[in-house]
Structure 1
Amino acid sequence: MGKKSFQKQPPRIPLPVEGIQVNGCRNPTCKNFLSLNSIKKFDGDEKELPEAYQRGGSYRVAGTGKHTASLVCEICSGRKKQGENITAVSTTLKSNQAVHEELSRIASYLEENPLVCPNEACDSNIGKKPKAVKKNGKTSTGNQRYQCLHCGKSFSEKPKTRKQTKPHLNKLLFRLLVNKEPIRRIAELLKISESTVYDKIRFIHRQCLAFAKSREKKLEKIDFERLYLSTDRIILMTNWFRRNDKRNSDLYGIATACLDSSYVFAFNFNFDGAVSLSEAENDSKETGDHELAKHHRKHARIWLSQEFNEAAKSRPTKEKLPVAGSLRDEIQIKVLVDAKYNASGGSEQIDPTKQLPARGAMVHNEYTMLAHFFLLKRFFKNTEKTRFFLDLDSGMKTAYISAFREEIAEGRSDGFLVRTSKNKTNDEKEKLVAEFRKMASESTGIPVRKLTHQDLKGVTNNLIVERLELPIRIPNSPERWIEHPWVSKAEPEKMVAAVTDLSKYDVMHQANLYRKVTLAPADRFFMNIRRMSTYFERPFQSGTSMSRIWHGYSAYNPEMYTIIGDIFRVHYNYCGRSSRKVTPAMKLGLAKAPIPEEKILYYKKY
């Protein structure tokens, strides 16, 4: 029997946790926008809470499905009834504790003492007591063992690499790893076993994170004047692990890169290898946690088997969608699909062909996206202004607004949605670029061959000003879209919409902001990692079944995507390639020269 009858009734709206409050109105022009963020601490008396938290206040909680509830902004609801074009009236309630847990996970490499109790039900992990552990001997392999002083659970550090018997191979292995050599081939070239290769990869990963920590801790103190940031996602697939069950597991990665420097600030996946799914599910059943509303659960962060299977059954394997003939059609279809399947903002495409990973736990993607933006918020706390260019992905806009709510309200952060064409051939791209330059030549009277970048910027700004006067309305989308006039081979067609209020700027300032909107820095990083890491290559269809996808180089252990992703990000930011003498870290001010691999490998000797 569960213990739910003995549990204290949770508050109607989740309270902030460590300053994190992701619930609230998403409309930056609404008076309710900051109403839930005004509470700083809570002494247990709900009568002392701000008006927005109380019944009959400016928010109404409505049930939208099994164990799910939405938060309805009464102010926006009233404005909509009066005829205003407002669609973001309600949002699905989320667990602030789950966001805090996920942020702690992805930011653990920045902490001085990242040791945490692995028992998710421990008071130290649900915010009731500070983390406290003591040393408790060593394991048979020599790793330090610890004991939690709250729940008594014993645990050890993440396994350290074995003693580096052939350290001279580390540098070569590092280079092979980021130059598209598969694990088996690396083992053959270096004349070592595959298990030794994996051991060295974990050593390189630890060193990369230690090095990144030493540089990226400085980001919190740098006074950047402006940062233009592109955020996009990547979907990866792990191979099936049982021959009689050929369902794949999808993992979702999110990355944010700087427009001016190409520096990738974070690259995070919705997977936690340190969590035991079976233990979490047993605890959930014993305590009745699974019967609570999702935003009040202790295990709200991870996918439990029952809810995953329910989500898979609710979506057909093959679904007929309208054929998109233009970018406008694509946006319309995306809005419709999100409204039907992604109301919670998760964006996972879960159907009967998918399954949970065999080890570790898959995190609800919306919590990884939220934690990603809160990590960026930490990095940019001294930045005067940030501009985010976001892929049109379910939940990404909500995650950005939730994390940067105060900065948006103060006018220090603006966001834009982007949708680009990805199905053009090289010939089609070149034709579109030529037509754009010809149009610019006719507009300015300057011959095509003499057009400068400044000339093209001026023409683009003028066209944006014209298009802002007649924006494109997409049904069920609150944004005002425009067709972006700038054409490049990287983005031959593009539609853009602002998600924050730009009326505070004059029209030419707005045009300048729209002109800069691009996903190119994040896409460039994804292109590089796909080309230079076998793990990130696109998979192919297996046999005659179109629902079975397999790749010889894809990971069986999902944690390898996080490990290789971290390693590649550090190498991409600091080491560069032979043809690139100026690295992203140098442009950003975190390095004075390209960093040799050995300086990362031996930054700290374990």
Structure 2
Amino acid sequence: MGDGEQNGNGGPDSSSVPGPDATAPEISPAGRKRPIPEAHKHIEVNFCKTPGCENFGVPPRKGPIIKGPGTKGQDRYKVAGHGKGTSALICAACGKGTRLKSNQAVYEEFERQSAYLFVPHPLSCPDESCINHRPTKESLKTAFRRYGKTKSGSDRWQCRECKKTFALGKPSVGHKKPHLNIRAFELIVNKVPIKRMAEILDISYTSLYGKIDFLYDQCRLFAASRESQLRQMEFKRLYLSTDRQDYLINWGDRSARKTIQLTAVATADQRSGYIFGLTPNFDPSVKPDDLEQQWHAAGDASKRPHMRDCARLWTEFDYRMSMARAGRLGEDAVAPARDDLDAPELLDLGQQLPKNGVQVHADYLMHGHYWFLRSLTHGAEKLRFYIDQDAGLLHACLGAFTDKVLNRQADVVQVDIQKNLTIDQRKNAHGKAKRWFEGERTRFPGMKDNVIRTAILAERIAAAREASKAERGKLQDVWLEYPFPDMAEPGKKLRFVTDLDDYDDRHVANLLMKGSLWPVDMVFNRIRRRMSMFERPVQSVRRARRMWHIYAPYDAAMVEKMLTIFRVWHNYVWVDAKAKKTAAEKLGMAEGKVRMQDIVYFDTRSKL
């Protein structure tokens, strides 16, 4: 491993897990100066992902491979996989492997997902060569002075350094019908299709798309003003559920009738329902032609995937390789379900890449998501992650929170649910479990149901430990059947991934009792019901019942815009009928329901 490939492109040669978070300025790859947590400056995701293993969280070092146990301080990994394909890092201590990733690509994806938090100050000299084009917090006090107003009433400012003047208008400056912005916001989150919106608002499609862009920008600014304070907030415990959802983009060219499939990953807080991150694997800031030029200039064609400069993004080379694999399966082949985001995606012959903007590999989307979560949850004393049964989700979570797992500040539980059961099957399973529980009650006279459930689960945990042949982490590879199924999550099974044999059975039972994907799945269901673009496809009777995505967008960039608008609405405007509070209110991010106009006309100038 002397060539350094074990760390991935741009990764540091570190032999320890990331240190405690701290804030320090650093120049990002895009050239922007922003505060980056210390741990993120040394992102490392290539190491053993088995909690309890002596190599858990310990990256490989440069130097020869030591086969077998090795000696103290020497590398204990080997690389599997040859040629230009995907390589895996095999731990010599536990024998388990994990696919190698580019640390630099993970950092780039984290930066993309967190970019909205770093809102530039509204006061900036328009002259890029001026020192006040990027003023510091200290220089802002003396860098500018007020210089009257424009004819439209906007504030005019003058740079004291170069004497240039510039105006700062209201957010809706230039809008011919600004009074329709709030109405457009309401229509978007109430499942009104684009064509109907244009009719209701009596505006052109160009004007409507302009308003969607405006609402997207305002929602990002508003979210940044609140969520940039999350790192300073303290939480006793956060129970977070993570899952993913796919969205299809219709073809825009009749000569290439192929769809685009994007994946979005979301994490929701179980107690409040607050959505932390909801970002699809699409980067609109990169042009496909520029990516191809960078690909050829870097010589990525001759490198392994994790060593490429463009490891994070889908290139034409990736697409051709995927089509070749799909072609070998046959003309009617359909890409297999994405059951493992850690593995390279396989597109089928009916799919294509976006024409404007580029698609992000799903595994890097997931890694970037969890590093983003780490930056937001700095003030949490304990973190409990409940994730879908997916190796990519698991490795990404463990890769970002390794040190917190070791310090027992974080635990990870995988959740497996039989999602394809019919209503009748769910009712039968629920009725059977209910009758069984009635009989179990007799063993615990006078106890409340929740106490009885915990006791029964603790008994099963003890039996699983007794039957396990593992010396340590006896529950790590055991799927425990949850004996109390409900209609929402039938056939549920749980796996305590971060078992280190230091929790008693009742502690583990309480941890597993909260094992659920329901909070995030409810978010995804609400997206389907509230956003016309993401409505489930309908069947065409005339065309052999083929699926028709009638309202799906034609521009991939619309997915992130609409999801961002929905996330802000869901967190700050939508009121839970039972709790009669918004998600932000329950989390402590707001004192009450936020009015739509306060989001639509949020003005960063209010801080001046």
TM-score, length-scaled by structure 2: 0.77
Q: Verify: 1:27 aligned to 2:50, yes or no.
A: yes
Change (3 A) 1:12 1:263: closer
Q: Verify: 1:510 aligned to 2:515, yes or no.
A: no
For 2:553 and 2:323, locate their aligned partners in 1 and report how far apart those are by CA, in whole Å: 22
State which drifts further: 346-355 or 220-229: 346-355
Q: 1:106 corresponds to which residue? A: 113
TM-superposed CA distance for 1:57, in Å, is 2.2
Change (3 A) 1:447 1:511: closer
Q: 2:98 corresponds to which residue? A: 91
- 1:295-345 Cα offsets, whole Å, 9 max, x none, are 222111101111222123224366699xxxxxxxxxxx99xx96xxx6x81
For 2:54 and 2:252, locate their aligned partners in 1 and report how far apart those are by CA, in whole Å: 51
Change (3 A) 1:377 1:208: same
- Map of 1:385-400 to 2, 5 A cutoff? 385-400=382-397
Q: 1:86 corresponds to which residue? A: none
For 2:599 and 2:483, locate their aligned partners in 1 and report how far apart those are by CA, in whole Å: 43
Q: 2:17 corresponds to which residue? A: none
For 2:83 and 2:493, locate their aligned partners in 1 and report how far apart those are by CA, in whole Å: 33
TM-superposed CA distance for 1:399, in Å, is 0.5
Q: 1:124 corresponds to which residue? A: none
Q: 2:519 corresponds to which residue? A: 521
Amino acid at match of 2:407: E
- 1:447-470 Cα offsets, whole Å, 9 max, x none, are 99x996535634653564366347
TM-superposed CA distance for 1:66, in Å, is 1.9
Q: How many residues align?
A: 518
- 1:345-386 Cα offsets, whole Å, 9 max, x none, are 146342222211121100111111000000111111221111
- Map of 1:384-423 to 2, 5 A cutoff? 384-423=381-420
Change (3 A) 1:55 1:463: closer
Q: 1:595 corresponds to which residue? A: 594
- Map of 1:348-359 to 2, 5 A cutoff? 348-359=345-356
- Map of 1:288-303 to 2, 5 A cutoff? 288-303=299-314
TM-superposed CA distance for 1:55, in Å, is 12
Change (3 A) 1:447 1:497: closer
- Map of 1:404-553 to 2, 5 A cutoff? 404-445=401-442, 454=450, 457-458=453-454, 460-462=456-458, 464-465=460-461, 468-469=464-465, 479-540=477-538, 549-553=547-551
Amino acid at match of 2:409: R
Aligned match for 2:554, one of 553, 556, 575? 556
Q: 1:370 corresponds to which residue? A: 367
TM-superposed CA distance for 1:272, in Å, is 0.4
Q: Verify: 1:59 aligned to 2:58, yes or no.
A: no
TM-superposed CA distance for 1:594, in Å, is 1.0
Change (3 A) 1:238 1:587: same
For 2:576 and 2:381, locate their aligned partners in 1 and report how far apart those are by CA, in whole Å: 34
Amino acid at match of 2:433: F
Amino acid at match of 1:110: L
For 1:239 and 1:472, locate their aligned partners in 2 and report how far apart those are by CA, in whole Å: 50
Amino acid at match of 1:96: N
Change (3 A) 1:186 1:460: farther
- 1:244-301 Cα offsets, whole Å, 9 max, x none, are 3222111001000011111111111110011111211122223423222222221111
Change (3 A) 1:245 1:319: closer
Q: Report if the CA contact (8 A) 1:110-1:213 is conserved.
A: yes
For 1:478 and 1:313, locate their aligned partners in 2 and report how far apart those are by CA, in whole Å: 37
Q: Report if the CA contact (8 A) 1:235-1:253 is conserved.
A: yes
For 1:585 and 1:302, locate their aligned partners in 2 and report how far apart those are by CA, in whole Å: 33
Amino acid at match of 1:405: T
Secondary structure of 1:68's aligned partner: coil
Secondary structure of 1:298's aligned partner: coil
Q: Report if the CA contact (8 A) 1:236-1:251 is conserved.
A: yes
Change (3 A) 1:544 1:187: closer
TM-superposed CA distance for 1:536, in Å, is 1.1
Identity, % of aligned positions: 34
- 1:44-84 Cα offsets, whole Å, 9 max, x none, are xx78xxxx9x997222233345253222222223xxxxxxx
Query: Structure 1 regions of 5+ residues with no counterpart?
Result: 1-7, 40-45, 78-88, 116-131, 136-159, 322-332
Q: 1:72 corresponds to which residue? A: 90
Change (3 A) 1:423 1:347: farther
- Map of 1:187-206 to 2, 5 A cutoff? 187-206=198-217
Q: Report if the CA contact (8 A) 1:187-1:193 is conserved.
A: yes
Aligned match for 2:282, one of 265, 271, 294? 271
